[in-house]
Amino acid sequence: MDRLTLRVPSALIRRFDAAAASRGGRSRLLRRLMEEAAMAALPEAVETSSARLSGKLGLRLSPADLTVLETEAARVGMTRTQWTVALIRARLHHRPQLTRRDALALIEVQRELRRIGVNVNQIARALNTAVMEGAVLDLEVAQLAAFSEEIRAHLVGVRDAFQGNLAYWSVET
């Protein structure tokens, strides 16, 4: 993981810390603000990359097909052009095509997994450094196992989400 260091006036950091206290602390709030800013810039990044595209594809569809296309694109929160490009890219590159809503959900899953990982690291550190009695040690080991199960469940959810996304874009045979 990368580290970011910046210098800010003391008064600003005190105000930021006060705001961050109820939101999980300085690092968590700063990470959340950065993720939101990156997601807000996502449409600009798409526009910038599409400006570099040199090829243009035109399609002629029947009115019925165009209506179905527009309905499906709206259902998943895309324009008909975005939906068509996502379909083509999914088929060409065999990678998930995420809408803004899906990308935000994935960021939230990553945030939760990070939170769980911190807890697991704290428990492991405590187990490595502390001398514990049998019942206390059993409780800590059980808690560590519960976190491991939670991580596995989240990872299965992420895998299922990606498989569902790929299945959506694939052609049934």
Per residue in 42-85, pLDDT (tens digit) is 554 455 555 566 778 888 999 999 999 999 999 988 889 889 98
Does residue 18 or residue 112 have the better pLDDT?
A: 18
Q: What is the mean pLDDT of the chain?
A: 80
CA–CA gap between residue 89 and residue 68 (Å, rounded) = 20
Q: Is this prediction's pTM over 0.75?
A: no
Q: Where are the beta strands (DSSP E) in the chain?
A: none
Q: What angle do CA 122, 125, 126 make, to 5 degrees?
A: 85
**Under 8 Å between Cβ of 109 and 158:** yes
Query: Predicted confidence band at 164 (pLDDT cuts at 50, 70, 90)?
Result: confident
Does residue 1 or residue 22 have the better pLDDT?
A: 22
pLDDT at 139 over 70: yes
